[in-house]
Amino acid sequence: MDYKKIGLKCGLEIHQQLDTHKLFCKCPSVLRDDTPHFEVKRKLKAVAGEMGKIDIAAISEQAREKIFVYEGYNDTTCLVELDEEPPHKLNQEALEIGLQIALLLNMKPFDEIQIMRKTVIDGSNTSGFQRTALIAEDGYIETKDGKVRVNMLALEEDSARKIKEAYGEVRFRLDRLGIPLVELRTEPDIFTPEQAKEAAEKIGLLMRMTGKVKRGIGTIRQDINVSIKGGERVEIKGVQELNDIPKIIKLEIERQQSLIEISKKLKQRKAKLEKKFFSIKKILEKSESNLVKKAIENEEEIIAVKLSGFAGLLKKKIQAERYLAKDLVEYVKHFTGIKGFIHSDELPNYGISENEVFQIKKFLNCKNEDAFAFVFAEKELAEKALSYLIDRCQQYVKGVPKDVRDVNDDCTTRFLRPMPGAARMYPETDEIPVPITKELLKKIKIPEKPEERLAKFKKWGLSNDLANQILHSQDLITFEELVKRFKKISPTIIASTLLSTRDEIRKRYGIETSPIKKRHFEETFELLDKGKIAKEAIVEILAHLAAKPQMTAEEVVKKLKLQKISIKELRKIINKIIDENEELAKNKQFKVLMGFVMRKVRGRIDGEIVAKELKKALEK
Amino acid sequence: MAKPGDLVEIVTKNKKYVGILMPKPEIIKSNTIVIKLDSGYNIGIEKKKIKKIKVIKKAKKGKKKNIKIKQSKKLPTVSILSTGGTISSKVDYKTGGTYASLTAEDFIQLEPKILKFANIRAKQIEQIMSEDMTPEHWIKIAKEVYKELNKKEVSGVVITHGTDTMHYTAAMLSFMFPKLSKPIVLVGAQRSTDRGSSDTFMNLICSVIAATQKIGEVMVCMHATTNDDFCYLHRGTKVRKMHTSRRDAFRSINQMPIAKIWPDGRIKFLINYKKPDKTNELNIKINKKVALIYVYPGINQNIIDYYLNKGYKGIVIAGTGLGHVPTYLIQKIKKAVKKGVAVCITSQCFYGRTHSFVYSNLRRLSQTGAIFCEDMLPEVAYVKLMHVLGKTKKLEKIKELMQKNIAGEINPIISKDMFLV
């Protein structure tokens, strides 16, 4: 596809969790899966922002009155997360990490930052807003296809984790609420799907250079803004997998192109949508349809609306296998909770006959180009649903609606909420402005950049491949610390141990390696550094530590008798084995004898030395 | 000249910024100018970097929407008198904090659901944070409430109030209205109304519901728990703010709350309450020369002399435990009583009753003529003593009145359940 011709423009918004305590209280930033200790029930209300406007996204949430349940832990969540205590002073460490990232991205910090309240009433913040502060602007990164400007960087608190939603009740966990996040946004300087992936990768790597960002699932989230010529800026939220980015963008292009086509068609047809709702219960009274029978039995109303100009369009695929009607259903469901509607493009069906369809069309005064839709529900709810349906159809006439969308597993997207406006921000009055002084900036050390680190690693003797692997690894900072601390150990051994030992243990011993912590590596390398063990023992020691993480490396060495042996001791062992196996020695059965020796000394001395000494002994 | 609210262009050496000029908090010394960017974020620009400020568009004056309120003949009418506090707070761009700015009419706009339970009359009588309340304000509020109570169509009065001293006002009104034909309900908020999570909304609905009940008492209506599920209706003389920030900060002490109220209109009474009188009686005569002293280890005994020299007529002591004071203070108290000053003993434990003789310290204290105030809260004893001193100067009479239950301030039977409710 010629992306230039279609005018593709993408921007990224990246959220990265920082590895410190929470932004506005001293609670640790830990996510938990054990049973929460308590829960609290709350409601939220849309309120006017600073400029006196109520944000459209906020109203959309309020259209559905919901109860929010918050789960918490007595030892890791406090009154601040519960919105029962004012926020403490901004976490200084988080601010400093934020500034480090800003400087890595060539950004300029502001002179003074003001913590803002961003109205969010989907329940994910107990307060009804998210605290956020803009700290820097005007940076850039380089990609193969050119410069991508990074225009803003904010420090903000993460939202509560959604656990479940059912029966008008949404359940959140407070463990994530308040974890410091860096949010950064690029200009729409990205012109191909692949470039978007590259930019996201680069930014992620740069942030990791601080050694102070969280790693693992859910700790970094990418939002992508996509627009094409004639389309509209659409925000796609919560992309977790970098490799999905190109596909998501391609599918969004498809969706916007389909909607542009549909809009053209609707304009040609002079579609004029009206919120005129009619009961068609009479027409369907004697219908064979089970759906209708059930509705009548439940004393529900059947309310219909004409969809001017929409005939044939509702079953049109707009994104992969997704129909336009599916998008409409999701939109209506979002605002009213209604599960679905029936439309004329899928009729006759569900036991509704051709004649009944004809009767409804006639009753609603539908021309050939018009479609209709109806819902089963009580009158008030049905009309509310159809009213939202008409709103959405009107948006289609105009073109691509300005949506915030959520990613599905297959990289298609679904409606999440309308695009929020600027009215959703007002100052956090519980905090005072924070000056970013020259003294503070002087204190901030810019971490080494990826290319600087690569050069350094190569100087340390790492192969190109290994250097790149360790640069991208979550053990990057540990690696550098260990190299600095254990000067006698070759950095290559440290790097390859950090990178591959876990896999090797899983494969060779079938032991889960997540209990292996930094401490275990440190202890093991300390023994190696002091010459107490051979490097051949490392895997075995760590495997044992994985199974028994409470032990120390030294204890494991003692228990498994893995102390390094000297060449003198080795020669003794070899001589003893040769004495015991005269026949084999005479026939120079090297392989068999090697096996015997190794059984005694495995992990305690370099195998090559063993082979050399055995050969020497056999030649005598 | 650019004024706050104007859309401006700010030119610095390196860059141009466009945004809405924000007023700076006056109380914070600052060398920056704050603007609101198009993204909604506020940022500060150092003044000395600025070369030029150009006004692009002058601020538009916001039009206030007038709402039409339909009167329902089926519903009772509730008067809402607003006095200020967090419940009527908005963001203040002058101080960067919140300030009292909502008028009473705004409450309807704030929570239209109150119209399901009552027709609303509204009046703003004060605009003050409750830490700034004085006895003068109590008198003013009492007079305004009295006017509303005497209106035939009004079935009850709601007073919106800052929470810090709401229990003082509630107690004082309890004494000032010896006869009450309709309920008086004080209500506040612990989270300001500009946030979606504000407790204002539910507190307001529940207080309006309370004001439609047939109760002849002054009460406080606030969140019962940290959940947004129901409110407690507390007796005005048995309630205290027990937490700096939680929604459920107000607790009944040495007494169960009068009722639970749900925002859907349900109400469940937990204890007996006073039925309405036929008429209203207002007694605003108080003596303000009363002090409240919190004793502590090492307290300077001259504190008593200070108040005596200043001509105080009553001193309430929040003693330790059962009502103890350091022994060296007893002679000063004796001196005060001799001079005709009423000294009342309460406990800084809040929970439980004072006692005049279980320990020798108490006996000696009691012999001085100090008045032990049963299970009365120190703040309640403080306002009650003002009220009592407005009636009489005779120590004997003062003692009799202080130890007599006038407005539910003394609970003769404290049951096991009445602790940390």
Express each pLDDT in B32-71 by its tens digit: 898 888 888 899 999 999 999 999 998 876 555 555 666 7
Query: From the candidates B77, B86, B160, B193, which is the catalytic residue?
Result: B86
| Interfacial B residues in 90-109 facing A (CB < 8 Å) | 91-93, 96-98
Residue B419 covered by a domain = no
| Residues B105 and B234 occupy one common structural domain | yes
Q: Taking CB atoms and an 8 Å limit, are A128 and B92 in contact across chains?
A: no
| Residues A171 and A41 occupy one common structural domain | yes
Residue A244 covered by a domain = no
| pLDDT value of residue A29 | 96
Express each pLDDT in B150-201 by its tens digit: 999 999 999 999 999 999 999 999 999 999 999 999 999 999 887 889 999 9
Q: Contact, A419 vs A232, CB < 8 A?
A: no
- Please tell me the least confidently modeled range out of A164-173, A369-378, A461-470, B139-148: A164-173
Distance from CA of A451 to the nearest CA of B (A): 29
**Predicted TM-score (pTM) of this structure:** 0.87
Tokens 């050399």 found at: A612
CB pairs under 8 A between A and B: 128
Express each pLDDT in B377-403 by its tens digit: 999 999 999 999 999 999 999 999 999
Contacts of A423 in chain B (CB under 8 A): 40
**What's the pLDDT band for A51 if we cut at 50, 70, 90?**
very low
| Residues B295 and B352 occupy one common structural domain | yes
Contacts of A108 in chain B (CB under 8 A): 14
- The CATH number assigned to the domain holding B48 equals 2.30.30.520
Phi-psi region of B179 (alpha: psi -120 to 50; beta: other; left: phi over 0): beta
Q: Does B9 touch chain A (CB under 8 A)?
A: no
| Residues A356 and A304 occupy one common structural domain | yes
Query: Three-state secondary structure along chain B?
Result: CCCCCCEEEEEECCCEEEEEEECCCCCCCCCEEEEECCCCCEEEEEHHHEEEEEEEECCCCCCCCCCCCCCCCCCCEEEEEECCCHHHEEECCCCCCEEECCCHHHHHHHCHHHHHCCEEEEEECCCCCHHHCCHHHHHHHHHHHHHHHCCCCEEEEEEECCCCCHHHHHHHHHHHCCECCCCEEEECCCCCCCCCCCCHHHHHHHHHHHHCCCCCCEEEEEECCCCCCCEEEEECCCEEECCCCCCCCEEECCCCCCEEECCCCCEEECCCCCCCCCCCECCCCCCCCEEEEECCCCCCCHHHHHHHHCCCCEEEEEEECCCECCHHHHHHHHHHHHCCCEEEEEECCCCCCCCCCCCHHHHHHHHCCCEECCCCCHHHHHHHHHHHHCCCCCHHHHHHHHCCCCCCCCCCCCCHHHCCC
| Residues A35 and A161 occupy one common structural domain | yes
Max CA-CA distance within chain B?
Answer: 80
What is the rounded distance in angstroms from the CA atom of residue A236 to the CA atom of residue A200? Answer: 14
| pLDDT value of residue A421 | 63
Q: Taking CB atoms and an 8 Å limit, are A429 and B98 in contact across chains?
A: yes
Express each pLDDT in B40-51 by its tens digit: 889 999 999 999
| pLDDT value of residue A48 | 54
How many folded domains does chain A comprise? 4
| pLDDT value of residue A583 | 83
Express each pLDDT in A394-452 by its tens digit: 999 999 999 999 999 999 999 998 887 655 678 888 888 899 999 999 999 999 999 99
Is residue B164 annotated as part of the catalytic site, yes or no? yes
| Residues B46 and B171 occupy one common structural domain | no
Q: Does A44 touch chain B (CB under 8 A)?
A: yes
Residue B211 covered by a domain = yes
| pLDDT value of residue A50 | 42
| pLDDT value of residue A238 | 84
- Taking CA–CA distances from B27, the nearest residue in chain A reads A432
| Residues A517 and A497 occupy one common structural domain | yes
| pLDDT value of residue B87 | 81
Residue A296 covered by a domain = yes
Query: From the candidates B164, B212, B334, B375, which is the catalytic residue?
Result: B164
| Residues B119 and B153 occupy one common structural domain | yes
| pLDDT value of residue A54 | 52
Residue A521 covered by a domain = yes
pLDDT top residue among A57 and A80? A80
| Residues A391 and A479 occupy one common structural domain | no
| Residues A210 and A319 occupy one common structural domain | no
| Interfacial A residues in 523-552 facing B (CB < 8 Å) | none
| Residues B177 and B209 occupy one common structural domain | yes
| Residues A209 and A226 occupy one common structural domain | yes
| Residues A488 and A601 occupy one common structural domain | no
Tokens 């728990």 found at: B225
Is residue B354 annotated as part of the catalytic site, yes or no? no
Tokens 């204190």 found at: A443
Domain limits for position B252: 77-269
| Interfacial A residues in 218-277 facing B (CB < 8 Å) | none
Residue A252 covered by a domain = no
Contacts of B14 in chain A (CB under 8 A): 108
Residue A605 DSSP one-character state: S
Q: Contact, B271 vs B256, CB < 8 A?
A: yes
Q: Region A590-616: what's the mean pLDDT? A: 88
| Residues B23 and B157 occupy one common structural domain | no
Residue B354 covered by a domain = yes
Give the three-state DSSP class for A118: strand
Is residue B305 annotated as part of the catalytic site, yes or no? no
Q: Taking CB atoms and an 8 Å limit, are A425 and B195 in contact across chains?
A: no
| Residues B264 and B121 occupy one common structural domain | yes
Tokens 């307060």 found at: A127
Express each pLDDT in B205-263 by its tens digit: 999 999 999 999 999 999 999 999 999 999 999 999 999 999 999 999 999 999 999 99
Domain finish residue from A209, A233, A257: A233
| Residues A556 and A575 occupy one common structural domain | no
| Residues B104 and B216 occupy one common structural domain | yes
Q: Taking CB atoms and an 8 Å limit, are B197 and A42 in contact across chains?
A: yes
**What's the pLDDT band for B419 if we cut at 50, 70, 90?**
very high
Residue A251 covered by a domain = no
| pLDDT value of residue B250 | 98
Is residue B194 annotated as part of the catalytic site, yes or no? no
Domain limits for position A392: 270-401
Domain finish residue from A560, A584, A610: A560
How many folded domains does chain B comprise? 3
Q: Does A434 touch chain B (CB under 8 A)?
A: no
Contacts of A41 in chain B (CB under 8 A): 227-229
Q: Taking CB atoms and an 8 Å limit, are A152 and B39 in contact across chains?
A: yes
Residues 6+ apart with CB under 8 A from A353: A287, A288
Domain finish residue from A187, A206, A233: A233
Residue A419 covered by a domain = no
Residue B411 covered by a domain = no
Query: From the candidates B163, B165, B193, B237, which is the catalytic residue?
Result: B163
Distance (Å) of CA A48 to CA A19, A53, A128, B132, B333: 34, 5, 12, 28, 55
| Residues A68 and A213 occupy one common structural domain | yes
**What's the pLDDT band for B98 if we cut at 50, 70, 90?**
low
What is the rounded distance in angstroms from the CA atom of residue A136 to the CA atom of residue A152? Answer: 6
Residue A425 covered by a domain = no
Among residues A507, A555, A497, A571, the alpha carbon closest in space to that of A600 is found at A571
Q: Taking CB atoms and an 8 Å limit, are B196 and A119 in contact across chains?
A: yes
Express each pLDDT in A133-181 by its tens digit: 999 999 999 999 999 999 999 999 999 999 998 888 999 999 999 999 9
| Residues B304 and B359 occupy one common structural domain | yes
Phi-psi region of B128 (alpha: psi -120 to 50; beta: other; left: phi over 0): beta
| Residues B195 and B224 occupy one common structural domain | yes
| Residues A571 and A543 occupy one common structural domain | no
β-bridge pairing A413-418 and A67-72: unpaired
**What's the pLDDT band for B93 if we cut at 50, 70, 90?**
very low
Structure tokens at A217: 């699932």
- The CATH number assigned to the domain holding B393 equals 3.40.50.40
| pLDDT value of residue B68 | 62
| Interfacial B residues in 192-231 facing A (CB < 8 Å) | 192-198, 201-202, 226-229
| Residues B148 and B251 occupy one common structural domain | yes
CA B161 to chain centre: 5
Residue A497 covered by a domain = yes
- Taking CA–CA distances from B91, the nearest residue in chain A reads A429
| Residues A174 and A226 occupy one common structural domain | yes
Q: Taking CB atoms and an 8 Å limit, are B43 and A429 in contact across chains?
A: no
Q: Which of A110, A119, A423 sits opposite B43 (nearest CB)?
A: A110
Q: Does B67 touch chain A (CB under 8 A)?
A: no
Express each pLDDT in A382-398 by its tens digit: 999 999 999 999 999 99
User: In the predicted model, is pLDDT for residue A49 greater than 50?
Assistant: no
